[in-house]
Amino acid sequence: MFAPIDTMLFIKFGVALLIGFLIGMQREHSFNQPDQEHPAGIRTFALMSLAGCGGAFSSAILASPWPFVAVLLVVGISFAVTHYVACQHGLTGLTTEISALLSVLCGALAYWDQLTLAVALGVMTTVILSFKPEMHSFAHKITREDLYATLKFAVITAIVLPVLPNRTFGPAPFNVVNPFTVWLFVVFISGISFIGYVLMKLIGVRKGMGLTGLLGGLASSTALTLSFIQRSRSNPELSRPFALAIIIAWTVMFARVAILVIAINRPLANLILLPLAVPIVAGLVCCFFLVNRGNTPEKTDVAFVNPFELWPAFTFAVLFTLILILSKTAQMYLGSKGIYITSLISGLADVDAITLSLTQLSLPQGGLELAQAGRAILLAAAANTLLKGVLVLLTGAQGLRRAILPGFLAMTVTTLLVALVV
């Protein structure tokens, strides 16, 4: 009599086989020499994944780790010899060897009921292998200062954030400051800005004004605006493309505000998303009329500070804390008028800080009404747009002023109007 068929066992070996095929296919393609025999290709990687799954299966049957260890040793020794021979011919890379070990590990994970992890690891390995040119290009674009700033921020965040007290301190109005929350928001904002910064390094900003405005809005709409004001004076014939990038960056700024509110305070998001959509739509309409006008500049690089520099991070933390205390104080002694005045003044400097402060204060423990918080956030966004628009109108080239004026008025006026009806 035959034993019952274990369908799940076949599925595990099948997943291991597919992962090996996937990694091996990428390795086979990377050699670009189809007529030449290579140390490991699609067949070898498929067999290694099966060996990893078989080794894990044998270890489970025998209740001993040695069968799986033996598989790792055989694969490791085989590739060690191959690598030694390759080094004799001046080939010192270890990518294929490490990929082989990962293929074996994925096969073992498939047997250990970690199918999702095995597939994810296999796919990620293939992605990393496939993006070799792009990753090398990105590494060359990153400066030593970028690397050091990122590492310093990562170390301080990883060490400081877990040990910060997660509670408020002091009497009112200072009891709204939670050190853990303040630093968490710093990481959150820097993360969003860092995405834009990395994309600029990876993709570049010479792909057109639309992409420039989008990435600039993620990194800093104010920085992009100031940069293109200066460019418009030296290249007035490109005023319309510059205006397009600026309006897109302003539109992305409103989208950033929406993302921050959604991530922290869902009831406030339900109240403010529709009003925020109005200036976003106004900005998109203005972009529609600008997109086919004017020539695209050959060079559209914008200088952005690495958002993981320590000084900007600490500056934001201090600014956020001060705005949080100021907003709470204004709420206590001046009521809603104090909140609105604080929002208008703070919005001129930084929309993210005042948005996070009001979003935090409008949580149940903060005591600020949702309607007041939503109206104040819109006023801050309007103040920030107003400041950038005034800078363009006062210091930009004549062509840029004419091109930006309709969008500036549309976004500012619509934001103020929806703030009145929130």
DSSP secondary structure letters along 32-88: --TTS--SS-HHHHHHHHHHHHHHHHHHHHHT-SHHHHHHHHHHHHHHHHHHHHHHH
404 lies in a domain?
yes
Distance CA 343, CA 357 (A): 10
Assess whether pLDDT exceeds 80 at residue 118: yes
| Listed range (292-306, 382-396, 400-414) with the worst mean pLDDT | 292-306
Distance CA 148, CA 36 (A): 42
Cβ(182)–Cβ(349) below 8 Å: no
Same domain assignment for residues 125 and 162: no
Same domain assignment for residues 71 and 184: no
Distance CA 316, CA 184 (A): 12
Residue 151 corresponds to which tokens in the numbers above? 């590492």
Same domain assignment for residues 32 and 167: no
Same domain assignment for residues 42 and 83: yes
Same domain assignment for residues 263 and 343: yes
Domain that holds residue 378: 138-421
pLDDT band per the 50, 70, 90 thresholds, residue 298: very low
State mean pLDDT over 345-358.
84
**What pLDDT sits at residue 14?**
92
Same domain assignment for residues 104 and 253: no
What percent of the chain stands above pLDDT 70? 81
> Which amino acid does the sequence have at 194?
F
320 lies in a domain?
yes
pLDDT band per the 50, 70, 90 thresholds, residue 1: very low
State mean pLDDT over 364-377.
86
Nearby residues of 325 by Cβ (< 8 Å), 6 or more positions away: 173, 174, 176, 177
Closest CA to 205 of 297, 76, 278, 92: 297
State mean pLDDT over 75-88.
78
Give me the number of domains the chain comprises. Answer: 2
Assess whether pLDDT exceeds 60 at residue 417: yes
Q: Is pLDDT larger for residue 146 or for residue 24?
A: 24
Assess whether pLDDT exceeds 70 at residue 202: no
Assess whether pLDDT exceeds 70 at residue 71: yes
Same domain assignment for residues 56 and 184: no
Q: Is pLDDT larger for residue 342 or for residue 326?
A: 342
Distance CA 136, CA 35 (A): 27
Among residues 130, 149, 177, which one ends one of the domains? 130
pLDDT band per the 50, 70, 90 thresholds, residue 105: very high
277 lies in a domain?
yes
Mean pLDDT of the chain: 80
State mean pLDDT over 11-40.
76
2 lies in a domain?
no
Among residues 100, 130, 160, which one ends one of the domains? 130
Among residues 79, 107, 130, which one ends one of the domains? 130
Same domain assignment for residues 182 and 261: yes
362 lies in a domain?
yes
Residue bearing tokens 């109108």: 393
Same domain assignment for residues 163 and 122: no
Residue 195 corresponds to which tokens in the numbers above? 């995405």
Same domain assignment for residues 260 and 313: yes
Distance CA 246, CA 385 (A): 11
Residues for the chain: how many in total?
Answer: 422
Model pTM above 0.75: no
Same domain assignment for residues 293 and 162: yes
1 lies in a domain?
no
Same domain assignment for residues 266 and 351: yes
Distance CA 14, CA 122 (A): 14
